[in-house]
Structure 1
Amino acid sequence: MQVRFINFERTKLPEEILKHNVEEKKKYFADVCLEVEKCDAEVQAEGVYNQRLQNLAITLDKVRYVMKCVFGDPKKAPPPLERLRPEAVISLLWKGDGSLVEELIQCITPHVMDESLMHDLKTSIQAHDPSGFEDTRGALQRSLIWLRDEVRNLPCTYKCRNDAAADLIHLFAHTKCFFRIRGYKSVTSPPLYISPLDLGPKYADKVGSRSHEYSKTYGENYCLGQLIFWHIQTYADPDSSLARAGRGCLSLPDIGSFYAKVQKPSRQRVYGPRTLKFMLSRMEKQPQRPWPKDRIWTFTSSPKVLGTPMVDAVLNKAPLDKEMVHWLKNRPPIFQAMWDR
């Protein structure tokens, strides 16, 4: 896939570089020679092409090294991502330990004074268990849509944004593919001895005259991070950047984002029309970009499962689910805090 992208980029990049360079130079020069600019654009595009190939080769070499250290034979290494079967998705979202529904109940309970209301909700959730149906995926989606509507009907406060939680459940309901991250065993490379001469005269005085031992530890998700960031070789630990880069686009927010501790002061949970509009714009126009930290959403620092409607769109080579987007754009607001905009 990366090679196809590199070759595709090579065919399109000269034209884009030419367009950009001409626009920039016209700001400062009256005459611009198109033939010269075309040649420059071709040279720049060729440089990018060669850099891409080099980065890809380096990535494959790094991943092969780690897999060899862990498994002996890199060919015996399982893929770093495992697509979940429908039964596993039900456990993840509906009935397993730490599932989406379990966390939702834990978040809602402190904010609901009516115990009978929570009892009825839990009973109804059990009654809508999607397990055992032939169409497992369809049954799970129907159950999540039902839960979405039930949560929307619960009262909201500035510490309890059931309206936002319902929107998140809606996103989960329209996510078809989930992947579990297979963490490989962490490995540490054999020590490398570096002398002051290796560093050059600039650092020789700082490190002293003796050699220094250096080893690198490759974390459980190093290979996955390296494969995702294959085009960037400046990340020493790409796995540490994986969680930050995947917020929203690779993994959906925590359901606890929308609920505060009852007895503790907390920041206002802003989820008005502007936040919803931003979310939809990011999903439709910039699906590859992470969601920002300064909004209502929070994300786990080490996600174990990946899956979003945006990933589905890429896998299916199709636009976002129109039904999902239509509902988000047209569902009536049920709560408006004074700081929501």
Structure 2
Amino acid sequence: MGQDARAGSAIVADGLRKGYAGAPPGAGLNGFDLEVATGTVCGLLGPNGAGKTTAVRILSTLLRPDAGRASVAGFDVRAEAGRVRERIGLVGQYAAVDEILSGRQNLVMFGRLNHLPAAHARRRADELLERFSLTDAGSRPVGGYSGGMRRRLDLAASLVVAPPVLFVDEPTTGLDPAGRRQVWAAVRDLVDSGTTVLLTTQYLEEADRLADRIVMLTAGRVVAEGTPEELKSALGGDRIDVVLADAGDVETARVLAARVASGEVRVDAGSRRIGVPVSERTRALVALVTALGDAGIEPVDVTLRRPTLDEVFLHLTGDDGNRAGDDPRSTGDGTGPAGDDRGAIAPAAPAAPDRRASV
């Protein structure tokens, strides 16, 4: 092997760099480090231009880095690209299946394209249809499938040769809630059977539900990593959300909330919502509700909760920055080349110091 895998790691990246001629500063990768443990889901999050797609393209051997090293399943992505491709699957944003063929015919076709004998390809197709709860629909043309069924079939197609590592790029884009849950269940089933998944997504709820650990990118570098709970805890404590009936009470409520807050109180005047970070959840909640009552303010709703990944993300990336996509040919409005739609989660922030992502 050109590069030995680190013990227990299916994906390793050290100091990956990739720039594009004419691209804005920070596009591509600028010292990207990553380790993904075997048999886990790593969620790769970042605003447009953060480097998510560039990272996946390099790790899946579709793009050569300018500098740095990376291995997947123990093989160097540059020196042993062919060995890497034998061990990975790649699922893009949109289903790559033929709508005229049936689900079973699609899977048999993918098996034959991967040089499986005809009988083996048919047997594997039946196994995958059962695994992804598509047996009843296996004989029907894919054109009549729902969005969730197509995405499950797309995942099945990527596993015809059972790769140990799977790259999944925004798997639930455009799906309704039921379809998203179906795909989430399919991904978790893959991991339970030993597959390692690197997931890019613009849905923070999706990362929260699926990922064992999360890596957040900004301007081509890792700015934070950890389990979803670790990242939420990094914001410090819990949150109290207060929704008021009268906009005229907002300022008074903000002053009262500041007395129990452990950090900055945030006010959304349009929705009459006040967000209060607190360190002593129960005591702070009782004190705030009592203070509001003494002031004659009757809230419409009061909620005590944990921070969300959205709040962590915005805290790390800020509110202003470059909205261009990973690819320097992006139009800047979230639409990349050849109709590659990459919706932004949040604007990008300036480059942050290097941090190792041990996933």
TM-score, structure 1 length as denominator? 0.26
Structure number with greater Rg is 1
Structure with higher strand content: 2
Pick 1 or 2: higher relative contact order, CA cutoff 8 A, min separation 6: 2
Structure with higher helix content: 1
